[in-house]
Structure 1
Amino acid sequence: MAKKAQAAVPSLPDGARLVVPVMSPGAGGSGRSTVAGLVASELASAGPAVVLDLAPRLTSPWPAWSADPGDGLVSIPPDRPLRRSEVVAAAARFTAPGDSIWHVLTDHQDWTALPLRLPPDPAAWHQLAAIGGWRTVVADTVHPLTHDIISARSARASGTTAAWSSLPYAVPVLCAAASGTGVHALQQAVHAVEAEGLPLKRLVVALVDQAGDRQPPVVKAALTMLAPRVAAVVPVPYDPALRAGGLREASRLRPRTLHAAAALAGAVLQSAQTAWGTPLGFAEQPAPLDRSPEQTQHRISHQPTHAEVSA
């Protein structure tokens, strides 16, 4: 792995939990999973980090990227109390620059297996990450942000974007391709976020170059116009290693990619510190497991602060 010139990421305090939902305006093609992995790998030096893979198995790149897959989401029982060791054993292991380990919770079943029913509520995933003891929780979401916001607004309901953004210490990252079409979708998404009153000033934008061509003027103009409205705009350069193998062989990533990862992590931390101060406040922790016969069984539920699990 090439050496980075960026300053080291400061450690998150014990008991803190930073939530980073990584989203995109549309259904795909924005580099969302790559950005989620880059953020998690860089923040792994600040404390235990995990990527939550919310995509259905056969649409997700994470199983193919995982050289050390772990037991997978199928091993987490939905009908009995969970222990930290079970949740951590379910996660795939990745090695970050500096040899820090970060994890991914994904589904590694064979393609013929029945699909898992993944909980739609972000609070359930937040609870699962709390059980696992991770300080940085990066959610690789799959919902199209703009459609979600407009649909929720039309139904006068709270959508998935709002639910992720309202979790404690959440700094959303919005990804878009560094192209004319990508920037147009990004601008629409930013308008929707602003109109819905979601935390635009807390938002970090990742503009992903997927072709290695010279940036068109519309992309440069978007960078200039968006920068004052959001927490940060971070360009992610084209990297042939990412295009060829994703994050499976991180040692082949170019120095510019590593600099972009450090910039993304720095922007996320700066946004969190601006919103909540330094150091980041403590997150609520799951209660110890009651081992009596009358214990209340823990499930992946909608209540992230009342899990009955052991440390």
Structure 2
Amino acid sequence: MPEPAGVPGGAAAAPPGGALMVPPDRRLVVPVLSGCGGVGRTTVAALLAATLHRRTLAAPGDARAGAVLDCAARGNTPWPAWLTAPAPSGTGVLAGHRGAAGGAEPGVAQLTEAAASHLALDAPTPLWVYTDTGPASPFFLGAHPGPRWWLPVLSGLRVAVVDGDALEGARLAAQAVGGPLSATASWFATPFLNTAAVWVTDSGEASLRRTIDALTCIAEVRIPVDRVVVAVVDRRGTRRRGGSSLTESWYELIAPRAGALVDLGHDRALADQGGCPPLDAAALDRPPLVELARAVAAAARLPWIPEGEPALFDPVAGAPGPAADLAELLLRQAGRAAFG
């Protein structure tokens, strides 16, 4: 097949605003969390996952997918209603087979692929979604937003956005006084992953205070704050003078405590959570969303390719080596063990 004109090695050129490059021996995991409900967390997770999926430049032959990992319980999540092609059985069947998969790698791979639903968007391939579809399972009451539950599905993914829950503030507070690891800390403690956390808040004073409390706990338990991105949603359309959703005082309080603060502003998709947000090019190429994707890439220590430049994967230096092979093996083993 001839190489695209002007692009060395047949690599794809980054679209307007740039793109994320995920080398073949890397995978990006982004837990999206909040301290309360109603702040637009699921919509932000959907838009971020679609933006990253649309803008990921992968090495030739890298067939891994991008996916959303939905942690909400059945009946308490909008994801099943948003799907283009629901799986016959989703995360409920994963819960039902925990301990019954026998540890055989092909069985785990087939099971996780069968549990993946698809969501169409303006991209060459659909976005995978792991959510509860099909018959209800007595084993499933919602997935935990931490890594152990999701390890079995990670081996087939290069980008995973975890649509977490509204309880992370409580988990962080408990960890700060000697309790168990929060979901945020658990993801950062998981090896072989490039992880960046996104904390979603609206611009209301109560939500911003909870955000300050959460970021204080993050610092106290020594989670790397430079790998935490705060996304601010202006759901009420009350942007202040200068176009910011935050007053200067709130900005000065929050910005130094996180790796990045991204003001998503007012968007009807964020204000109205009754339906799936638009996932066309016009929506996904909005500058605030591209800024959020770029901030996530920086926090996760992955390269962001500037607009128009090609992603060059060195066939020698960029190929997975023995260390990457070992990491992949250990991740797969951990995934199989998580079924037990």
TM > 0.5: yes
Question: What is the one-letter code of the residue matched to 2:200?
Answer: C
Describe the superposition over 1:259-299 as per-residue Cα deviations: whole angstroms up to 9, x where unpaired.
Answer: 32221111111112289xx9899582247999xxxxxx945
Return the alpha-carbon distance in structure 2 between the equivalents of residues 280 and 273 of structure 1. 18
Return the alpha-carbon distance in structure 1 between the equivalents of residues 18 and 332 of structure 2. 36
Return the alpha-carbon distance in structure 1 between the equivalents of residues 247 and 16 of structure 2. 24
Partner of 1:24: 34
Q: Higher mean Cα deviation, 92-101 or 254-263?
A: 254-263
Distance 1:169 1:5, change over 3 A: closer
Question: What is the one-letter code of the residue matched to 2:257?
Answer: R
Question: What is the one-letter code of the residue matched to 2:338?
Answer: I
Return the alpha-carbon distance in structure 2 between the equivalents of residues 214 and 238 of structure 1. 7
Return the alpha-carbon distance in structure 2 between the equivalents of residues 183 and 104 of structure 1. 30
Alignment check: 8 A CA contact 1:5 1:259 kept: no
Superposition map of 1:1-311 within 5 A: 6-26=16-36, 28-44=37-53, 45-46=55-56, 47=58, 48-71=65-88, 72-76=90-94, 77-78=97-98, 79-80=100-101, 81=104, 82-109=107-134, 114=138, 116-118=140-142, 120=144, 122-131=146-155, 133-167=156-190, 168-215=193-240, 219-221=246-248, 222-242=250-270, 243=272, 245-247=274-276, 249-251=278-280, 255=283, 258-273=286-301, 282=324, 284-286=327-329, 298=336, 300-301=338-339
Structure 2 residue matching 1:226: 3-state secondary structure: helix
TM-score, normalisation: structure 2 = 0.72
Distance 1:287 1:203, change over 3 A: closer
Return the alpha-carbon distance in structure 2 between the equivalents of residues 119 and 165 of structure 1. 18
Return the alpha-carbon distance in structure 2 between the equivalents of residues 257 and 238 of structure 1. 15
Return the alpha-carbon distance in structure 2 between the equivalents of residues 267 and 287 of structure 1. 29
Return the alpha-carbon distance in structure 2 between the equivalents of residues 129 and 109 of structure 1. 18
Identity of aligned pairs, percent? Answer: 24
Partner of 1:305: none
How many Å apart are 1:68 and its aligned residue? Answer: 1.5
Structure 2 residue matching 1:59: 3-state secondary structure: coil
How many Å apart are 1:209 and its aligned residue? Answer: 1.5
How many Å apart are 1:155 and its aligned residue? Answer: 4.2
Consecutive unaligned residues in structure 1, runs of 5 or more: 291-296, 303-311
How many Å apart are 1:219 and its aligned residue? Answer: 2.2
Question: What is the one-letter code of the residue matched to 1:33?
Answer: T
Alignment check: 8 A CA contact 1:208 1:236 kept: yes
**Count of aligned residue pairs for this structure pair:** 287
